Structure 1
């Protein structure tokens, strides 16, 4: 058995969504200063690094993280690799046999973007039609290898709206650079943040 860590490390100055709070990890109590223990204060967005989007992120009365079924975050998953330059469209998906697949992670050129220390606006995203196609296929969890499934700057948020209104869980901020396409077991449980629109995740793929 081999375990692939597909999560991003969380640290100060890590790449994040431009409008989100910056990650801060500060030792508020230090042994070297005479305290009995080290204690870190953490400031970050619920969507920092590798995270999930709950329906409540874009749907007014959508489910929050703590109301999502835990079964969704563990089980069979397939990693598919696409050579899309800018967006994932139906033509890209039509050759894939995804009907009946519950968890699908998309490996794109995005995974090579993590080497940049600054946010890159030109990442591969889902179109509204491709999101609708995946919903029709019965996919319940969609993973992508950058910080959003959405085209940067699209204020109508069509992909998020399609996925989350259908209660498809979005797993964003994956690093699939060293992962080969194929079948795996996904384990990606979010923090149990009551009433929250998203949550950090330590996502791994288990290869038997």
Structure 2
């Protein structure tokens, strides 16, 4: 991933979906295979995908943790297009309230956290049990600030011990969540962002393509 140098250029923050890429423990292994292959005499090339909706770069809908919450097909398009701020976190275990409070976060802001998760090519590696996650205190602060979107650079915004509570705190207040962002080489700052999840009726999440350019 190259650092953005030109304000007119777009950079893709989406992790490529590949066969057997990292996935949440207990969910099916990612499978990308050919139903038909022209190199093997097929009439066309046709790919079959099999994976959880929460694989790679994806969005969580409120329905993920909120009973009768909005599904991913109901996401507000305007919310996923516009300015987003990438904030770099130094803490090496989680995203703490104290670091988040150092930044003047405004209502309706789209906030993306870059952590040491981005120092490795995590989509191609085994699942990291010590990934950096959002603390419940920081999630509560973002709720109080009435942000609209929270993004993180691993496949879950919450950790082993607080995952359910963090998801409920954000999604229960209709703060939409982007997980699995690929931020290697991306500098902190203000960006224009476009995030488009696949429109899957009644789904609690969906793969997403996320692109940004420096403002």
TM exceeding 0.5: yes
Select which of 153, 159, 162 maps to 1:151: 159
TM (norm. structure 1) is 0.95
Distance between the aligned counterparts of 1:68 and 1:139, measured in 2?
Answer: 15
Segments of structure 1 that go 5 or more residues without pairing to the other structure are none
Does the CA contact (< 8 Å) of 1:144 and 1:173 recur in 2? Answer: yes
Select which of 123, 128, 137 maps to 1:129: 137
Distance between the aligned counterparts of 1:40 and 1:180, measured in 2?
Answer: 35
Query: Does residue 103 of structure 2 align to residue 103 of structure 1?
Result: no
- Match in the other structure for 1:71: 78
- Match in the other structure for 1:37: 44
Does the CA contact (< 8 Å) of 1:127 and 1:158 recur in 2? Answer: no
Q: CA deviation at 1:33?
A: 3.1
Distance between the aligned counterparts of 2:94 and 2:42, measured in 1?
Answer: 52
Aligned-residue Cα RMSD (Å) equals 1.4
Distance between the aligned counterparts of 1:32 and 1:181, measured in 2?
Answer: 44
Aligned residues: 207
Segments of structure 2 that go 5 or more residues without pairing to the other structure are 1-7
- Match in the other structure for 1:165: 172
- Match in the other structure for 2:201: 194
Secondary structure of the 1:203 match is strand
Moved over 6 A (4+): none
Distance between the aligned counterparts of 1:168 and 1:156, measured in 2?
Answer: 15
Select which of 12, 21, 24 maps to 2:19: 12
Select which of 118, 127, 131 maps to 1:119: 127
Secondary structure of the 2:10 match is strand
Does the CA contact (< 8 Å) of 2:88 and 2:188 recur in 1? Answer: yes
Query: Does residue 181 of structure 2 align to residue 139 of structure 1?
Result: no
Distance between the aligned counterparts of 2:27 and 2:75, measured in 1?
Answer: 23
Q: How does 1:85-100 map to 2 (within 5 A)?
A: 85-100=92-107
Distance between the aligned counterparts of 1:141 and 1:161, measured in 2?
Answer: 14
